[in-house]
Structure 1
Amino acid sequence: MGTHSHHHDYNFGERYTFAGKAKIGSIIAIVVGIAAVAFGLLSGDHITVERTYANLLLMGYYFTCVCAAGAFFVALQLVTQSGWSAGLIRIPQAMASVLPIASVILLVIVGLGLYSHNLYHHWYAEGITDVNSPNYDSLVAGKSAFLNMPGFLLRQIIFMGSYSIFAVILARLSYKEDLDGGLNSYKKSFKLSAIFLVIFGFTTPIWSFDTIMSLEAHWFSTMFGWYNFAAMWVSGLSLITLILILLKKAGYMAWVNENHLHDLGKLMFGFSIFWTYVWFAQFMLIWYSNIPEETVYFYKRWEPEYKPWFWLSIIINFVAPLLILVDRDVKRKQNIMLFVCILLLLGHWLDYYIMIMPGTVENHRGFGIPEIGTAIGFVGLFTFLVMSKLSKHPLAAKNHPFLEESLHHQI
């Protein structure tokens, strides 16, 4: 664990400079996104407004999920005392540091979606739990102890608030370790990570039940939470790897080698298969049991406008990583890994699209400006916030107790 025997020629004080094309490109993308959302909300067409809200939810949730995955990655490395990742830990830390902003954005989207009745109208509508109302729905009324507006918003605030607090503290302790040295910050981080992982593990399924599953309040699946967690984790890993490769190509982080890339590739490979396992188990059990109130979920997704996307999602998120990443040498090649990262990020966008659209947009027949523009806007926002955060601190956690182990990592 010799922390200070760096006899290498690495510059551990190097900082990423967020400027030029990357910065201008991200700002242009944000402007495109704002314009697309404004176009959708001010279009005057009810379905276009619904689509815009659904896309805002999709990208807001995706954005928050990948930032939460960054915090999960950091905590997981600390609790398992993993040495291999010490050299690249600044990337997930930057993602985790942006989680409070992502959470606030998602909270605003969810709140507006409730009040405008454009998102959660399956359970939050006039008279839906009132026996004397023509809108009364006995199934939703039976769930109203859980699915009610104050409880829903309170859970959102508690879950995302607690994730954000832990994410920010863990990142700050790591930056403090750079200045102070010693093991104080590391030991605190270890304890906090253990607490965070327990909270995160128990609450992320409920968070996804609320945010996504309740869009179709009649239907439920006990596997939905883990299906969402798997999507979140694979997307987060893909983004960490993508940022790492782009930084390497720009000449940064010379201390990270193909062995680190290989490990990230193995995680992406393994958890893409885990995602498929949960996806298939949920699908197969509902299809096989053939209970009408269960199968309606997939019936909707087999309508002509969704069916091709439904199967394409499986090809991109399972077949592609399985066939490409199974080879050891491929996981060590930057360009192929870059392609797989982008493919999986697009694949999980499609995955969330299939989860959200059929339940929110009743007569969905369009694909265009709201979908593409909103996605571009959030990609720009993520890039701007995460890369700005990354540029504020050195790219190496120079006093990390396992940094030396990471430098000599070989598999």
Structure 2
Amino acid sequence: MATLTHQESATAEQLVVTDGARKIFFTIILAGVVLLVVGLLTAIFHWGEAHEVVGAVGHEEGSPIWLKRLLVSLWHSNIFFLGVSAVGTVFMAINYVAYAGWSVIVKRITEAFSVWIAPGAAIMLVIFLVGRHDIFHWTHDRINTKGSPNYDAIIAAKSGFLNLPFYLIRMVSYLVIWWAFSWKLRKLSLEEDLNGGTQYFHKSVTTAALFLVLYAVTSSMSAWDWVMSVDVHWFSTMFGWYVFASWWVSGIAGITLTAIFLKQNGYLRFMNANHFHDLGKLMFGFSIFWCYVWFSQFMLIWYANLPEEAVYFNQRLGGFNGQYTGLFFFNIVINFVFPFLGLMTRDAKRQMIILKIVCIAILAGHWSDFYLMLMPGTLKGENGFLIEIGVAAIFLGAFLLLMTRRLSEASLIPVNHPFIDESVHHTT
């Protein structure tokens, strides 16, 4: 009986992406395009605007607001999906260095998530080169030149770090590191499937350990560069952890949601309630961790009440005629209160329907979290949602197309992984 179980546990599963699934992905993209077009037309012709937004700043370089919203929205959604994509590799690397066996059953999902790193990197470079003046105030011409009408002493003091050549070098470095290690771990995994043996596992552990050290540095620095430097006069020493927490819990939610859909469509037959329980515990725990970082950052700034620090939350909590106040409180509810209450019990973490609802809420909630990080510093009071949701839907459909294609390129079960039996027989 034990022999039969072992043989069954090593059986490959091949995902077939049906035409119906592809139609759904293309429908998501099409819906995004429709929303984007409607949003652009609304912004261009000012439909539904009763009055001019007080305090709005959006034309420093002469860009029309619809174009600025489009560029910021592309930057926003690409950062979100790029971070979630990289988390697939981070999750896999952590489990390698921890010699964890339970997660092997979802390993191919984490490998597939990294598929967005390469296209996301290309999109990011293009957006920055084309629209940097509309996203980053520190890129404006002669802003570091004394005597210039654009001169800003605070930005000039940061020019050793925030300058175009060094910024591009850092950006390319982060993206190349993330892509290279994702590619290497995927390559070792596929070779392990073909050839067997433990040498690929040990090489993967070494590769994963090095990647985690580099990611610990580059993830924080990328948060400073891509998100925090939007509010160039403001800074927080906790911001790198804050952005990572948002990416991390979103990535776990995405991995869990993918596993649920695969399970419900007849795949991952060895995945059981115990695996979902552990994924649920991770979402539950790191939703609390995200809130801990959020509250720590907010509480220290609120208590000190220094103008140069408080401006960040003043903009988001009552600023620009209250444009972001509702979203500010919604952010706390959907990213902490809802996952906390939804996943509090043991049974909830073992029910796919509850996990599915919480996963979708977390993904939507942390996309809105990045919205709240980026929009006040770029669009001020001229923000909206049609363009932004349309762009997000296009990115989602494209991500699903690429991710499922990669999932279909290899067995969903890494049959020769040394811990495959441990994962198949995992209990909690």
TM over 0.5: yes
Alpha-carbon distance, 1:104 to partner: 1.8
Residues 1:27 and 1:337: Cα distance change in structure 2 (over 3 Å):
same
Q: Deviations over 1:288-330 (max 9, x none)?
A: 1111011111111013110110011001111111111110011
Match of 1:269 among 273, 280, 284: 284
Q: Partners in 2 of 1:176 and 1:8 — Cα distance? A: 20
Within-5 A mapping of 1:199-214: 199-214=214-229
- Structure 2's unaligned 5+ residue stretches are 46-63
Q: Deviations over 1:16-37 (max 9, x none)?
A: 1112222112123334445655
Alpha-carbon distance, 1:164 to partner: 0.5
Tell whether the 8 Å contact from 2:375 to 2:383 is kept in structure 1 after alignment: no
Q: Which amino acid is 2:76 matched to?
A: L
Alpha-carbon distance, 1:44 to partner: 5.2
Within-5 A mapping of 1:4-403: 6-7=5-6, 9=8, 12-34=11-33, 46-114=64-132, 117-120=133-136, 122-302=137-317, 303=319, 304-368=322-386, 370-403=387-420
Tell whether the 8 Å contact from 2:9 to 2:424 is kept in structure 1 after alignment: no
RMSD of aligned residue pairs (Cα, Å): 1.8
Q: How many pairs are equivalent?
A: 405
Q: Deviations over 1:142-184 (max 9, x none)?
A: 0000001111111010001111100111011101100000011
Q: TM-score, normalised by structure 2?
A: 0.91
Residues 1:254 and 1:8: Cα distance change in structure 2 (over 3 Å):
farther
Alpha-carbon distance, 1:6 to partner: 4.4
Q: Partners in 2 of 1:385 and 1:69 — Cα distance? A: 16
Q: Which amino acid is 1:25 matched to?
A: I
Q: Partners in 1 of 2:363 and 2:247 — Cα distance? A: 10
Q: What SS does structure 1 have at the residue aligned with 2:139?
A: coil
Alpha-carbon distance, 1:7 to partner: 3.4
Q: Which amino acid is 1:355 matched to?
A: M
Q: Partners in 1 of 2:39 and 2:230 — Cα distance? A: 20
Q: Partners in 2 of 1:248 and 1:28 — Cα distance? A: 23
Alpha-carbon distance, 1:39 to partner: 6.7
Tell whether the 8 Å contact from 1:266 to 1:331 is kept in structure 2 after alignment: yes
Q: Partners in 2 of 1:4 and 1:229 — Cα distance? A: 43
Q: Partners in 2 of 1:4 and 1:97 — Cα distance? A: 36
Q: Partners in 1 of 2:261 and 2:233 — Cα distance? A: 44
Q: Which amino acid is 1:103 matched to?
A: A
Q: Deviations over 1:33-68 (max 9, x none)?
A: 456556767875722222111111111001100110
Q: Which amino acid is 1:247 matched to?
A: L
Deviates more, 1:266-275 or 1:358-367: 358-367
Q: Which amino acid is 2:392 matched to?
A: A
Q: Partners in 1 of 2:200 and 2:36 — Cα distance? A: 43
Q: What SS does structure 2 have at the residue aligned with 1:89?
A: helix
Deviates more, 1:321-330 or 1:103-112: 103-112
State the percentage of identical aligned residues.
43
Q: Which amino acid is 1:269 matched to?
A: F
Q: Which runs of 4+ in 1 moved over 3 A?
A: 3-11, 31-45
Alpha-carbon distance, 1:380 to partner: 0.1
Q: Partners in 1 of 2:116 and 2:315 — Cα distance? A: 35
Q: Which amino acid is 1:338 matched to?
A: K
